[in-house]
Amino acid sequence: MAVASSSLPFLNSHFSSSTLQFPPTPQFPKAQSWFLLRTRTRTTSLSITRAVKSDVSKEDIVIVGAGIAGLATAVSLQRLGIRSVVLEQAESLRTGGTSLTLFKMVGGMVVKSEDGRELRSFMFKDEDESQEVRAVERRILLETLANQLPTEAVHFSSGLEKIETSENGETLLKLKDGNQLLAKIVIGCDGIRSPVAKWMGFSEPKYVGHCAFRGLGVYSDGHPFEPRVNYVYGRGLRAGYVPVSPTKVYWFICFNSPSPGPKITNPSELRKQAKELIRNWPSELLNLIDLSPDETVSKTPLVDRWLWPAISPSASTGRIVLVGDAWHPMTPNLGQGACCALEDSVVLARKLANAINSEPASIEDAFRSYGSERWPRIFPLTIRANLVGSLLQWEDPIVCSVRNNIIIPKLVRLGPIMEHTNFDCEPLLKTMSRNL
C-alpha cells in the first residue's frame, strides 16, 4: 500500500477498503479460548486511562505503544474478537506533527528544480489506471483508530522500564510508575527506539546521513493548491508538499548532514533553519513554513535498520513479537513506514486469531509465520528506501544536471515508482467468518 512520499502516509484503495473503514464490531456466539473480547460500553470519544498503583495485574495481550502500529494492531485484533490492552508512555495520543482525512484523491505529481523549472509532471491515472493515492494526516488517523477501541483499552502515562520472562512463557512488564503487568502475549509497537526490540537483541537504528524538517501548513480559508504531490530537487537538498485536507498542506525539507546535530525543539529556530536552506527556492515553500503551527514543525534525523537474513534477530521471541518501526525502521523516501505498520497489524492479527482458535501452544508458530511472511516485503523496501534517498540527495553538480535534464524528464516512469505500493491485504472479516 501507499505511494512514494517523504514521510506522510499515503493509502491506496486496496488497503483502506479492508482495514480503515471499520464496520461495527460483530457479536460472537461462542467463546474464543482465553482471549475472548469482553463486551464493553463505550462513549464517542477516547477517555484517558491512567495507571494507578497496584499489585501485579494479569492481561492476555499487551501492546506496547499507542502509535499507528499499536492502535492498528489493537483494532485489527478487536475486529476478530480478541481483546488487548495498549500501553502508552505519553500522557495522551501523540497527535502532534505532520502526516485520516481521506482528502479527495491526489491526482498527480509535479517535479521541479530549485529554480522553479518544471522537470516532469503527470497524472496518475494517465500513467497507470490501477493507482490511487490518498493523503493522510497523522492526527486524524490516530484518533480514528483510537475511537474504534473501548475507552479503557489505552493506558496512558505507562512507560515500560523492564521486561522479564517466566518459565511458563508469560512476560512481566515493569512500568516506570511502579505498576507491573503479567502478559501471556506482548506485541512491541513502541517505535524506532523500541525498548522491546532492544530487549530482544536488535541493534540501534543507523543514521543514514540526512535529516528532515517537516510541518503542516494551515490555510484557514482553504489552500490554493491542486490535489497533487509536488517535489523540488536541489543539490544535496530536496523538498516537497502535498494537500492533506482542504485547509492543510504537508511539507518536508530533506538535507544532507554528517551528523544528526543537536536536538532542537524551539519552533522559531526550526522555522529559521528550514527557511535558510531554501531561501532562494519557490516562494510557496517558504509560505508553508510560516503558516505551520508550532506543534507541527519538527526536525528529525533519518535512520533505518537492515534486517539481514541469518544475522538479525527474528521478529519474535517466544510470545513477544514486534510490529512496525519497532521491528523494521526505514527511511521515509518511499512513504512506506506507517503503511507497512498497517500491513503488519493486519497480517499479525490474522495469524494470531487463527492460532488462538486452534490452541495456545501454536502462538509461537503464528509469530514465526508472521515474520517469515513479512520479511520478504520489509527487507527489500528498507534497502530500496535507503538507496532512493541516497540518489535523491546527490550533491555533485554534474550528476544533478543529468538527473534534472535526462533521468527525470525522459527516463522516469510511474509504474516502477509505484510498484512497491501494490500490497493487497485480505479483509480481516473473511478470517473471522472462517473461524466462527
User: How far is it, in rounded angstroms, from Cα 191 to Cα 215?
Assistant: 20
How much is the CA Rg of the chain, to the nearest whole Å? 22
pLDDT at 417: 67
CATH class of the domain comprising 55-98+138-205+309-420: alpha beta
pLDDT score of 102: 38
Segments making up each domain of the chain, as ranges: 55-98+138-205+309-420, 100-136+206-304
Q: Which residues contact 18 (CB under 8 A, 6 or more apart)?
A: 346, 425, 426, 427, 428
Q: What is the CATH number of domain 100-136+206-304?
A: 3.30.9.30
State the pLDDT at residue 25: 41
pLDDT by 10s per residue, the chain, length 436 = 443 344 444 444 344 333 344 434 433 333 333 444 433 333 333 434 444 445 799 999 999 999 999 999 999 999 999 999 999 999 998 766 555 333 447 788 899 999 999 999 988 777 767 666 777 888 889 999 999 999 899 999 999 999 999 888 899 999 999 999 999 999 999 999 999 999 999 999 999 999 999 999 999 999 999 989 999 999 999 999 999 889 999 999 999 999 999 999 999 999 999 999 999 999 999 999 999 999 999 999 999 999 999 999 999 999 999 999 999 999 999 888 888 999 999 999 999 999 988 765 589 999 999 999 999 999 999 999 999 999 999 999 999 999 999 999 998 877 666 777 777 777 776 644 444 4
